[in-house]
Copies of this chain bind each other. A is one copy, B any other.
Amino acid sequence: MSVEKKVISILREHGYKLTPQRKAILDVISRSRSHLTPAEVYEKVRRQYPDIGLVTVYRTLELLARLGFICEVRGNDNNRSYLLRRSFSHHHHLICSGCNKVIDFNECDLADMERKITESTGFSIESHLVEFTGKCKECLQGETVKC
């Protein structure tokens, strides 16, 4: 079943309505391979649905994130962006300090760390976030050039 179909059926399941606006937003997100800010989603969606409101974009992104279909990333300068969770897999981010590109990666073995933390603090850990910041290949070459 395509991601799109799955979202549609889950929306229904939870009693949410399937509106053309939601379809359009979903379409934009699932076509994109990169993280998109609400403003970027808005701009792209308007090409196919010019009368949509920015508010609806915010509300829909919030809904899709809540249902687990997209993944929210909070960047450094108070900006958030969203990415389709392909395969619902657990992933983390690699952020380029040169061009702000965000790359996902899956390697993450924190079981040991989690165990130690639980032992020493009594925390029951629900989730974790790992972010590496550095310079991507492109930015490493031509350091002064924007990529």
- CB within 8 Å of B: which residues of A? 74, 76, 78, 94, 96-97, 103, 105, 107-110, 112-114, 116-117, 120-137, 140
Q: B129 and A117: CB pair below 8 A?
A: no
Copy number in the complex reads 2
Name the contact of A97 in the complex, choosing from B103, B117, B126 (C-beta under 8 A).
B126
Q: A121 and B133: CB pair below 8 A?
A: no
Instruction: Name the B residues within 8 Å of A132 (CB-CB).
Output: 114, 117, 123, 125, 127-129
Q: 30 pairs across A/B with beta carbons < 8 Å? A: A78-B78, A94-B117, A94-B123, A96-B123, A97-B126, A103-B121, A103-B123, A105-B121, A107-B113, A107-B117, A109-B112, A110-B130, A117-B132, A121-B136, A122-B137, A122-B140, A123-B134, A123-B135, A123-B136, A123-B137, A124-B135, A124-B140, A125-B132, A126-B135, A128-B130, A128-B131, A129-B130, A129-B131, A129-B133, A130-B130
